[in-house]
Each structure stands twice: as C-alpha cells, then as structure tokens.
Amino acid sequence: QVQLQQWGAGLLKPSETLSLTCAVYDGSFSNYFWNWIRQSPGKGLEWIGEINHNGRTNYNPSLTSRVTISVDTSKNQFSLNLNSVTAADTAVYYCARGGDTPMILTYWGQGTLVTVSS
Amino acid sequence: QSALTQPPSASGSRGQSVTISCTGTSSDIGGYDYVSWYQQHPGKAPKLMIYEINKRPSGVPDRFSGSRSGNTASLTVSGLQAEDEADYYCSSYAGSNSLLFGGGTKLTVL
C-alpha cells in the first residue's frame, strides 16, 4: 500500500522560506515523478513542480524563480523549498506520486497547512 | 498559462446524470491526451477519478466517465449517489513539462 507522509513548519513570517518533506512508503520510488501541489483556502489546486529519483525537476513557470524541489533517494524522501514567502503563499500543500502516464497524480499525502503571517 | 475554466457549481438529483465541463486551449486540453479529473471531499486530499481523458483507475466506479471535444473536456457522473457530492477538478498537461488545473466545480446531489 503506497503511503506518503509529509511534514514541515506550519507558520511562517513574510520573506521566510517554506520547507516541507514527504516520505514515501512502498511507492516504488525510482519509477515515478514526485510532485508538490498547493491549495489556497477556499480555492483551487495549483501544481508547484515535480522531481524524479535522478533529480530531474519540472516547475510551474509562475513559481520557478522561488521553488526548489530536491530528493533524497537513501531515505525515499523528497522536499519542497519555497523562498521569500508572502501571505499569498498561505495554502494547504500536498505531496503526490505521479503515475505510469505523464502528469497524473495517483497517491497523495495528507496535506500540510502553511500559514504566512506577520 | 491560465487555469482551465470550470463552472463553479453543478447539481443533480440522486440517480440522475450530471456533466461537468473543463475548457482550455489547443495548448493544453486540445493538444494532449493527458486530461485528468480529481474528486475532493471536504478536508481530504484529492483522488484521481479519470486519466488520459477517459480511463478509470482501478476501484473507480464505471458511473464516472470522461470525454473531450476540441478544447473542452467533460466529466459525466451517472446514477448520482450521495457520496458523489464533492469538488471536482480537471487537469491537463500544458506543454513544457507543466500541469494546469481547473478552478474546480462543486457538485451537489439533491
């Protein structure tokens, strides 16, 4: 059973860096892309980016200047860093596994609410 | 890149069918077969319901079906049940290794 468990700081001040990590259990880590998605309160989903086990990344063009996604294959974990956060970055952040075809999200983490407030 | 366009709400009575649309452009929905639909209940993570326009993952009831015409994709839910009440999001590959979502549609089962 594939499980994704995520964690990270839930309260940030403006200009700080958001950092989240997602651990993958029984997920065939080497075979898929691993994604981050966010959802602002009461709003829709926004894809942030993805990474594979080799460290190849793809990012949302609107966030690419502030986003870094990294991978630790020894721990089957991947991480999200988003710098210079503002209140607009307040959202529930999800990690998710890709699928056998491009750009599908098959298994999701539980979500982490990150609030940016002074 | 702009978000895909979905109606904010849709509704149908139990047992009836409802169709939710998702409109994009020739650079996303109309250009690639990688259109997906996700169901999200309040406070829960989204769940993949349809991928590659009309394919269902294992375990998804065949009451859920997908289609595409030009730059518009559609999700049809037949034989509506109470548990189908949720938010539904479409997504599409948008080229350059990026993914776009729709704004979401709140489905109410009357």
pLDDT 10s digits, B88-102: 999 999 988 899 999
Cα–Cα distance between B53 and B74 in angstroms, integer? 8
pLDDT over 80 (residue A27): no
Distance between A28 CA and the closest CA of chain B, angstroms: 18
Q: Which chain A residues have a beta carbon less than 8 Å from that of B100?
A: 47
Cα–Cα distance between A67 and A56 in angstroms, integer? 14
What torsion do the CA atoms of A23, A27, A28, A33 make, to the nearest 10 degrees? Answer: -70
Among chain B residues, the shortest Cα distance to A99 is held by: B51
pLDDT given at position A26: 84
% helix, strand, coil for chain A, step of 5: 5, 50, 45
Q: Which of residues 34-73 of B touch A (CB under 8 A)?
A: 34, 36, 38, 45-48, 51-52, 57
pLDDT given at position A68: 98
Among chain A residues, the shortest Cα distance to B96 is held by: A58
Q: What is the mean pLDDT of residues B56-78?
A: 97
pLDDT given at position A69: 98
Sorting pLDDT into bands at 50, 70 and 90, what band is A59? Answer: very high
pLDDT over 80 (residue A13): yes
Residue B34 CB neighbours (<10 A) = 19
Q: Which member of A60, A104, A108 has the closest CB to residue B45? A: A108
Among chain B residues, the shortest Cα distance to A57 is held by: B97
Q: What sign does the dihedral B80-B81-B86-B90 (CA atoms) show? A: negative
pLDDT over 90 (residue A1): no
